[in-house]
Amino acid sequence: MTDHVRRWRKSSYSGNTGSSECVEVAALEPVVGVRDSKAPGAGHLRVSREAFAELLGRLR
């Protein structure tokens, strides 16, 4: 599946001004993809769902 077919999402808190520093995430079975929203063509990280859940838990 190519990146343009995947559904990349970013937080609603990041705004739409283009100056927000944020990441985008996508469900890339069986992992979660994480990429820089300002440079989507630069590639992405692939992390396990468990690791991503732990990260979110620590950020909250």
What are the residues whose beta carbons fall under 8 Å from the beta carbon of 27, sequence distance 6 or more?
A: 6, 7, 33
pLDDT of residue 5: 60
pLDDT digits (tens, 9 = 90+) for 10-43: 877 766 666 567 889 999 999 999 999 889 899 9
Reported confidence tier of residue 59, pLDDT bands at 50, 70, 90:
confident
Domain spans in the chain, listed from the N-terminal domain onward = 23-59
Alpha-carbon distance of 51 to 53, in angstroms, equals: 5
Alpha-carbon distance of 9 to 40, in angstroms, equals: 12
Asked whether the whole model's pTM tops 0.85, one would answer no
Q: What's the half-sphere exposure (Cβ side, CA atoms, 13 Å) at 14?
A: 15
